[in-house]
Structure 1
Amino acid sequence: MSHILTLSDRTVIQTLLKVGYSQKQIAEEVGVVPSTINYELKRCPKGYYDADQAQENCEKKLTHRGRKTLLTENLREFVRGIILEQRWSFEVIAHILQMPFKTLYNWLDKGWLDIKREVLPDHGVRYRKSHDGRGQYTRGAKFINQRPDEANLRQEIGHFEVDTILSGKTRGEVLATFTDRKSRLMIIRRLPGRDSKAMTKAILELNEELRGLIKSITSDHGKEFAGFKEIEACGIAHYFAHPYAPHERGTNERLNREIRLHIPKNQPIESVTDEELTMISKYLNWRPRKCLGWKTPLQVFFGDLSEKFD
């Protein structure tokens, strides 16, 4: 099982280097293979290892995971030249390049264009990107790389993938969907909104209903999961998938698409009755699955937990 170094690990590495430990000895103390330490030391090019500098380097590289950008060096120079020399707006450049102008603003906000908003013709006042804090709260969180084999290999009940289903872009009620990785059982809960307090409450209440069997949850970086520390304080491990990697929560994503067959994106969640949600749950959980040896998710889930729910 892989191990992602934390700031605490890097502080230990820095301390042990100062007292003369070898890379092999440090690897044994931290609990990683020696090649990990060798790679880690290269994060500080000046030859002096600094834990804070290494952590900053790691976080910067993590932001480049997942979906690949279309921005090339030639395209970067073209956009910069047009902005600085011709004073064209992003809307005009996007039209010429046949791409969404929002993409150009995203590149600008990430610092990939090497220009500042103030050099734009309108100083960027027409487009102010709203930040919802996505990803800001995951400092110190556990990522999917650290998830145990029992969850990765679907060896036991209680490891859930979690997500939300929205009513398009409007505010209002949302659906929280919980999918057990081993049995593929789907549990649907109605939430008053897409906020962390509502999601945290739903997870803890579901765990109580299931008599404390939830061992872990895996989610994306949505702001509704900002309460992961409170969840972990109650004994439930919380793992975050990498950005733009829905395949890492593939079971939940696929079943969410099946729910969308019954609840289209433009349909408000408030208009869906509890009876309809019950019927959707039956449709998902009472159907035999080939991957389960033609058993239903209900059979596998409660079959493994027959003693707990007698």
Structure 2
Amino acid sequence: MTRIEGRIVRGIAGFYYVATEHGIVECRARGKFRKDNVTPLVGDIVEIQMINDSEGYILNILPRKNELIRPPIANVDQAIIVFAIAKPEINRVLLDKMIVLAESNDIEPIICINKVDLKEDREAFDLVTIYQKIGYKAVTTSVVTKDGIKELKSYLKDKVSFFAGPSGVGKSSLINSIQSNIKLKTGEVSEKLLRGRHTTRSVELLSLDFGGYVLDTPGFTALTLDIDIQDLRYYFREFLELQRGCKFSSCLHVNEPDCNIIKAVKEGLIDKNRYLSYLSLLKELKEKEKRRY
């Protein structure tokens, strides 16, 4: 029997649908996975054994690049972190928290400031510029005017991506505008369905005509930071070079003497709001550690 590799693009009720060079193959997982307490995930690269032209068995799961619990998916390349310039207003701490969450899971964050048709000032452009200077890909978009959609598509090409961000920022509308045959539900209902721990709703990777996949559900429904307090500073890219100049190698950049990061903030070399986000997330991690003990 023929053995081929493919990617799981959907899983429901014990069946896994694997995209291969021969098309979609409906698969069951071998019993050894249940015995080893391993569950195949959407996004997994798997080796399958064909039974006939459209059915097969999953034999092996190749090593995962990363794995998320909510949404349950593996091997994600990037997170499109979407915030609206208005309605709702941008929460900078939440934006930076989502960036840290992505990077701590080995996922490339791409910042998308949506609904730019609602404001005529430079706020969205200035915000995007801040993140671009740090080294992130960032884009302003509007579903109404189609501003930035072409650039966003270029970032999605040949990648496995998911959209993350607060309710009401236009994630589903953006996905719908990227490809006409993708029709996701817009509004709050789809996100609310995902908040319960137990749900029968399947997760699916939708194929993009121009190459790549996009997840059909919002990402990061659980926004808990699970990193060491000492590691947070390494997920702020603009800190990396400068913090080598701190007096203490363990400097957390709060009130330590001769802190190069505090100096850089005062001199305008580091965006003040980014630094405030860092302090807020550091406080959150410290409080979480207190509750643990």
- Place the TM-score, normalised by the shorter chain, in its bin: under 0.3
Give the structure with the higher percent strand: 2
Larger Rg: 1
Give the structure with the higher percent helix: 1
